[in-house]
Each structure stands twice: as structure tokens, then as C-alpha cells.
A and B are shown apart, each in its own frame.
Chain A
Amino acid sequence: MDHSTLIKTPVLVDASPPIVAAASPANRRRRILIGKPGLDGHDRGAKYIVHLLRDHGYEVIYTGIRRTPDEIVAKAVRQQVDAIGLSVLSGAHMPLFTRVLELLATQRATQIVVFGGGIIPAEDVELLKSQGVAEIFTPGASADEILSALARLLPVTHAGA
């Protein structure tokens, strides 16, 4: 075993630096919040996505497990993220995803793109998309699929990486 390969920047960076005043969508990297709403502790997928997106130039904040939709939306708004990625594998995705969309609407933050992943049946995927979730990734989705979907959803260059 080789301890030198320890992850240098562990995923759970809850205390992200404050946003600099000059930050605007045009001159900063795309920022994504990965959230785990509800009681589900399966975080292998969420953490993988965090690393994958960081490796591809995104700025990523991870909430850790067992956060409420209110906590997630508050953080997303405060950190001025471009997108929220929600991960739920427990089957509770419908009320949790819907609540996040509602809260974004009340906070007038619907410019934030919402995508998600988890064990989500096809009919729920359709329903969630009709309610405003931009994309849902289910088991078997490849890194390429996820990256190209996000490049399409968040088109501004993240060349500052």
C-alpha cells in the first residue's frame, strides 16, 4: 500500500472561500455544488463526481451527506454556483428534488441549473425533467456522458482552470 497517493484535496470542502466581489459568470470558472439531500449515506458516486469535475476544470463544493434541501439551496445561493448536482440513492428523490426546485424559485435563483443522479426509475426521470431538472444520470452513466452533458448545460468557457 502506498500512502503517498493519499488524496491531496479531500472532497468535503464545506467551508469554501468567500466569493470575490469581481466574480461574474464571464471571468471565473464554472462553480458546481454537489449535494446529498435526505438521509441517504451512499456517497461513493457523489464523491467520484466531485473529483471528476475538479479534474475537468470545474470549481466544486461538496455538502457532505444528510443535508436538507434548505441547507443545500442556501449554500448554492450564497456561493453563487452555476449548478447544483443532487445525489440520492435511497428512493426519496421525488420530494427532495422537487423541494430544491421550489426553494430556488422562491429565492429567485432559477438560473442555477439543477441536475441529479441516483437509482431513479425512468418514469421519475421524465417527471423530474418536466419539473425543471436539466439532466438525471442513472447507474451505468459514463464519465464522458456526464462531462458532455455539463459542457452543454453550462456553456460558458471554463478555460481559466
Chain B
Amino acid sequence: MNTSNTLSLQAGFADWQTQTLAPTLRKAPERVARFVTASSTPVERLYLPIESSGHERYLEQLGFPGEYPFTRGVQPTMYRGRLWTMRQYAGFGSADETNARFRYLLSQGSTGLSVAFDLPTQIGYDCDAPQAAGEVGRVGVSISSLADMERLFDGIPLDRVSTSMTINATAPILLAMYVAVAEQQNVSSTQINGTIQNDILKEYIARGTYRFPPQASLRLTRDLFAWCSRETPKWNSISISGYHIREAGSTAAQEIGFTLADAVCYIESALNAGLSVDDFAPRLAFFFAAHTDVLEEVAKFRAARRLYARLMRERFGAQDPRSCMLRFHTQTGGVTLTAQQPDNNIVRVTLQALAAVLGGTQSLHTNSKDEALALPSEEAVTVALRTQQIIAHESGVANTIDPLAGSYFIEQLTDRLEADARRYIDKIDELGGMVAAIEQGYPQAEIEQAAYDFQRSIDTGARQIVGVNCFASQEPTRLELFQLDEQSARRPIERLAEVRERRDALRVNRTLDAIRAAAQSDENLMPVILDAVRAYATIGEICASLESVLGVHQESCAEVLA
């Protein structure tokens, strides 16, 4: 915009304020003194054209879809070519029960699988370990050995589905099991397609399923990267996750800032190990939350794409355009679901899913209305999937690329979120990088503060949540909740006993010795873990072997007291 246009715009705006706005405000004041987003970013009354997204800076700030800086999306045709992957996170009880849920989801039009593992599996305890008491099959499926993984994917052709696995501390073991099941189906590792979360840093920040200390964990991450870059060209070797950071209470800017600071740490760690950026960066994937403040979320996704592209090019010198593409999965915000009036959650999920699609997500999980109360029922899961299908096939929002671009508000909020997130990355650099920042408790304290402020604003009524602190009703909730079969925990334990009976114990011990030896050296751990998995060594045995060399992590007061 040239200077004379800018001047006439400013003059027009000033006139509008005095002649039109002021009399209205005198008669009818606005609803509140200060409007803010869900993340408490101030929102102005009216947004005007700005330079940053105007013609002069269009190419630099927005560009074209499929091109740097990818603000408008990572693919040249976006959803006109192919819709996002509808991928519902699922898992509970034994492998057989989850296998049945997977088959149901695929029959209903899901286009990818997403495995939820229970906490013992995520932390590396067998289902019969004392630490697993009460936790087996609760928040996901229980997997102790390859025998469970075989049942989990029974009848599901691994060359034809794409699978996402939410697994971090024990990621190398579960990926090895997946590869071993594929081998049994005569599917080679080069054919498997999917994503492993493998993002350990956010476990220390927000999610809590760590096992080994941070540096040792980063070595496992690196080993998995290097192995995947050779063996599984279609597999995403990490999904760097802001979702759990947001769930723990962060703002939108913190979600992007901390997640990209995690990315910086992984990239530096891989570079230090001698990998070159364009060899592994195209296989890095991301995972974000979608909350109900639709416009803020759309701006967040766009800001994340642009900021990441710039970091990759400016900081790491990436040459391959694919290294600069922030490809991401989205899940609607679990914490936004309310126990009160649970049908309202369908509407919240719809708004959140819409934000994810308007923001250009590559895949999407929609939460079910009953998840504040229990694991979702099959009926509730179906409605959640249908929500995505209605957005895809009826709403029309998938028919053009980045439809909200050029909105004065969206562009200015995109700029602001990018700048705020970049400040968090700078701050973490100042603290000595993400591992040091975590050890000093910095991201944890920032998130804790934001979570507390948010909850207080609900308790005081400053922020309104329908059915919770306004429009509440006294009627009791009536919902058919999912109930976990109490036998679910027993079956994996019985199967594990059979496996221990049946397998070649000498071979198991040999492979576990090899893991300890490799852990003491610089050798990549993936091949020895794969051997152990093929011998039906259990996740608990493999983790105990690793722990004997790598050590164990526990949340300590020093970390958070800083």
C-alpha cells in the first residue's frame, strides 16, 4: 500500500471513530472493557489493511501454497487434491479389543490408524510388573511383546494403511515391533507408512511418560532418526508435539514456541551426530491442538508453518524445500471438553475441527463428546468421525486453499503469534537450549502460570464456558459410558506368561546382552532392539537392559524450583 493510500485510510479511520463509532459507544457501551483470545491476546475492535500481508510484502510473508514460507499450506492443491487423513486415536484393553476397534474405524471411513498405548507400555513396564498394577489397558492398548503386536494388527495390511503410534520413551521398541509384524506379512520396512511420536522432550515438559534421562533419551531419538532415514523412507521418524503442551495449559504462542524450540533441539542433536539436515528434516512431522477460538487457532497454524520454514532456512541452511515444510497432525482439545452438558462438546469439537482444516492440517483426530467422563463409546466416536466427514464433504471449506488468508485480523494475528513464539525460542536459546531450559523448569513454570490464570478466569467468571459457569442446568447428565471389561487386564497378563514359556530363553538373553553392549558404545541401538523384539524379548526386559546403562529419570524438585 503506498503512502497516500495509507494516509487516506488513517484519515478515514479517524473520521469513523469520531463520527460513527463515538456516538454509538455513548449510547451502548461494549460488552466488556477488554476483549481477548482464548490465550489472552488482546483483540482490537476493528482490523485494517496492513503492510505485512499487502501486495508489497505478499511474496515474503505469504507466498504460494507448496512454496516457501508455506504460510498458505504445504501442498500446491491442498484439499482440492486429497482431503486430510481422518485418523482417530484409539486403543484400550488387550490387543484383540483394540484390533476390533481399528477394524470398525476403517469400515466407517477412517483413512489411517492411530494407536493409543497404555501407560505401562509407554513407560516400558510389562503388564505383569508391580508398577503396572491398575494401569493395564486403561488409557490405551497393552503391548508387552511382539505377540501382542501381532494380534493388534491382525488382518490389517501394513502396506496399505498408514499408522501413527503415540509412543515416546519406548518408541524404538514399538517401531521395531511394527517392522517385525510387517516382515511377517511380507511387507518390507521400505513400504510401511506412518508416524511415530518419538518426542521425548515434551514428556519432561508436559506429558510425563519419560523413562531415561534427557540426554540418553535424545540418543535413542537420534538412533531412530538415523535408522529410519536408511530403512523406512516413508515413515515419519518423529512427531514434535505441541498438543500436550497446550493440554497442560499453555497459550497458543507457547504451544508453537516450545514445540519449535523442541524441534531445534532435535535438529541440533542430529546434526551433531553427523546427519545432514536435508537427509532427515523432510521426515520430521508435527502435532498441534485445536481449541475453540477458531480465528486464533487458524492464525496459530499459519504462524507455525511460516516460523518453521524460516528457522529451517535461516538457522539450519536447509536447501530441500521439503525440509522447510511444517506438516502436522491436529487433535481437538481434550481439555476443552466439559463434563456438564456433554452434547455441547460435539459443537466445540466441530469448531475446533473447522479451525484445523482452515489452518491446513494434514491429518485430524476429533474427540468424542464423552471424553471428560470416560474412554469414548463407539457411538460417540462415530459422531466425532462424522463431524470431520461433514466438514470435508458438506461445508465447502475444503474447496479452496487457505480461505481465510487476507483477512486483516487473521494476518495480523498470524504476525503476532509468529513474533510471540519466536521470542520464546530466543528465550530458550538464552537459557542454553531446551534441555537446559527443562532442567531449569522454565517451560514448565510458564505453562503452569498460564494454566492457573486460565482456570482462575473461569472460576471468577471473567471467562465464560457454556454449561459450566453460565447457562448451567441442574439436570443430571445421562450418557451411556464406555466401560472397560475388567477381564481386559487379565488377558495380556495370561498371554505374556505363555510367551515367556514358549520362547527361546537363551536367545532372549543373548539379545538383551547385545542391547547392554550397544548402549555402552556409540552403536545404533535400533538393530539390536529389532533382534530382541524378534526373539520375543518383552518391553520390560528391553527397558531394564537399557536402564542398566542409560539410567532413569525422575521429576525432581531442583528442576521445577529454579
Q: Which A positions have Cβ atoms within 8 angstroms of B?
A: 1, 3, 5-7, 10-15, 38-44, 47-48, 51, 64-66, 90-96, 119, 121, 138-140, 142-144
Q: Which of A42, A121, A139, A142 contacts B372 (CB 8 A)?
A: A139
Q: Is the CB of A48 within 8 A of B451?
A: yes
Of listed B123, B134, B207, residue having the most chain A CB within 10 A: B134
Of listed B138, B203, B340, B441, residue having the most chain A CB within 10 A: B138
Q: Is the CB of B119 within 8 A of A10?
A: no
Given contacts A12-B557, A40-B208, whether A91 and B139 have CB atoms under 8 Å apart is yes
- Chain A residues whose CB sits within 8 angstroms of the CB of B10 once the complex forms: none
- Tell me whether B133 is interfacial, beta carbon within 8 Å: yes
- Complex Cα gap A1–B125 (Å): 40
Given contacts A7-B452, A10-B561, A11-B560, whether A92 and B339 have CB atoms under 8 Å apart is no
Q: Is the CB of B134 within 8 A of A140?
A: no
- Residue in A closest to B444 when the chains form the complex, CB atoms: A10
Given contacts A48-B452, A92-B134, A95-B133, whether A6 and B557 have CB atoms under 8 Å apart is no
Q: Which of B335, B420, B484 contacts A1 (CB 8 A)?
A: B420
Q: Which of A11, A13, A43, A90 contacts B119 (CB 8 A)?
A: A90
A110 to chain B, nearest CB (A): 22
- Complex Cα gap A144–B456 (Å): 11
Q: Is the CB of A44 within 8 A of B247?
A: yes
Q: Is the CB of B134 within 8 A of A64?
A: no
Q: Is the CB of A95 within 8 A of B449?
A: no
Given contacts A41-B207, A44-B248, A65-B208, whether A10 and B448 have CB atoms under 8 Å apart is yes
Q: Which of B335, B340, B441 contacts A44 (CB 8 A)?
A: B335
- Chain B residues whose CB sits within 8 angstroms of the CB of A142 once the complex forms: 459, 469
Given contacts A7-B449, A38-B119, 6 further A-B contacts (CB under 8 A): A6-B445, A6-B446, A14-B556, A39-B123, A64-B556, A119-B373
- Chain B residues whose CB sits within 8 angstroms of the CB of A48 once the complex forms: 451-452, 455
- Tell me whether B135 is interfacial, beta carbon within 8 Å: yes
Given contacts A12-B561, A44-B249, whether A1 and B556 have CB atoms under 8 Å apart is no
- Chain B residues whose CB sits within 8 angstroms of the CB of A66 once the complex forms: 208, 554-555
Of listed B132, B135, B209, residue having the most chain A CB within 10 A: B135
- Tell me whether B423 is interfacial, beta carbon within 8 Å: yes
Q: Is the CB of B247 within 8 A of A43?
A: no
- Complex Cα gap A90–B138 (Å): 6
Complex A-B: 16 CB contacts under 8 Å: A1-B253, A1-B254, A6-B449, A7-B452, A10-B441, A10-B560, A12-B561, A38-B119, A39-B131, A39-B132, A39-B209, A42-B208, A64-B554, A65-B555, A91-B135, A91-B139
- Chain A residues whose CB sits within 8 angstroms of the CB of B449 once the complex forms: 5-7
Q: Which B positions have Cβ atoms within 8 angstroms of A?
A: 119-120, 122-123, 125, 131-135, 138-139, 203, 207-209, 247-249, 251, 253-254, 335, 338-340, 372-374, 420, 423-424, 427, 441, 444-446, 448-449, 451-453, 455, 459, 468-469, 481, 484, 554-557, 559-562
Total residue contacts A-B, CB cutoff 8 A: 119
- Complex Cα gap A12–B208 (Å): 14
A63 to chain B, nearest CB (A): 9
B211 to chain A, nearest CB (A): 10
- Chain B residues whose CB sits within 8 angstroms of the CB of A38 once the complex forms: 119, 134-135
- Complex Cα gap A3–B426 (Å): 13
Q: Is the CB of B208 within 8 A of A14?
A: no
- Complex Cα gap A121–B557 (Å): 32
B170 to chain A, nearest CB (A): 13
Q: Is the CB of A41 within 8 A of B339?
A: no
Q: Is the CB of A51 within 8 A of B139?
A: no
Given contacts A44-B335, A92-B135, A92-B138, whether A12 and B119 have CB atoms under 8 Å apart is no
A7 to chain B, nearest CB (A): 5
Q: Is the CB of A119 within 8 A of B372?
A: yes
- Chain B residues whose CB sits within 8 angstroms of the CB of A138 once the complex forms: 339
Q: Which of A3, A13, A119 contacts B557 (CB 8 A)?
A: A13
Of listed A51, A91, A96, residue having the most chain B CB within 10 A: A91
Given contacts A39-B123, A65-B208, whether A90 and B135 have CB atoms under 8 Å apart is yes
Q: Is the CB of B561 within 8 A of A13?
A: yes
- Complex Cα gap A5–B448 (Å): 11
Q: Which of A43, A92, A121, A143 contacts B208 (CB 8 A)?
A: A43
- Complex Cα gap A93–B253 (Å): 34
Q: Is the CB of A40 within 8 A of B119?
A: yes
- Chain A residues whose CB sits within 8 angstroms of the CB of B335 once the complex forms: 44
- Residue in B closest to A98 when the chains form the complex, CB atoms: B134
Given contacts A6-B446, A121-B481, whether A41 and B208 have CB atoms under 8 Å apart is yes
- Complex Cα gap A57–B554 (Å): 29
- Chain B residues whose CB sits within 8 angstroms of the CB of A15 once the complex forms: 557
- Complex Cα gap A151–B209 (Å): 35
- Chain A residues whose CB sits within 8 angstroms of the CB of B455 once the complex forms: 48, 143
- Residue in A closest to B427 when the chains form the complex, CB atoms: A3
Listed from nearest, the 8 A-B pairs whose CB atoms lie closest are A41-B208, A92-B134, A91-B138, A12-B560, A140-B339, A95-B134, A39-B119, A14-B557
A43 to chain B, nearest CB (A): 7
Q: Is the CB of A47 within 8 A of B451?
A: yes
Q: Is the CB of B557 within 8 A of A51?
A: no
Given contacts A47-B448, A139-B339, whether A41 and B459 have CB atoms under 8 Å apart is no
Q: Is the CB of B373 within 8 A of A1?
A: no
- Complex Cα gap A143–B459 (Å): 7
Q: Is the CB of B560 within 8 A of A39?
A: no
- Complex Cα gap A39–B266 (Å): 26
- Chain B residues whose CB sits within 8 angstroms of the CB of A41 once the complex forms: 203, 207-209
- Chain A residues whose CB sits within 8 angstroms of the CB of B446 once the complex forms: 6
Q: Is the CB of B445 within 8 A of A10?
A: yes
- Complex Cα gap A42–B139 (Å): 12
- Complex Cα gap A15–B122 (Å): 28
- Chain B residues whose CB sits within 8 angstroms of the CB of A39 once the complex forms: 119-120, 122-123, 125, 131-132, 135, 209
- Residue in B closest to A143 when the chains form the complex, CB atoms: B459
- Chain B residues whose CB sits within 8 angstroms of the CB of A47 once the complex forms: 448, 451-452
- Residue in A closest to B122 when the chains form the complex, CB atoms: A39
- Chain A residues whose CB sits within 8 angstroms of the CB of B134 once the complex forms: 38, 91-96
Of listed B203, B248, B453, residue having the most chain A CB within 10 A: B248
Given contacts A66-B555, A95-B133, A95-B134, whether A90 and B139 have CB atoms under 8 Å apart is yes
- Complex Cα gap A36–B481 (Å): 25
Q: Which of B123, B132, B373, B459 contacts A139 (CB 8 A)?
A: B373
- Complex Cα gap A94–B136 (Å): 13
- Chain B residues whose CB sits within 8 angstroms of the CB of A12 once the complex forms: 555, 557, 559-561
- Chain A residues whose CB sits within 8 angstroms of the CB of B452 once the complex forms: 7, 47-48, 51
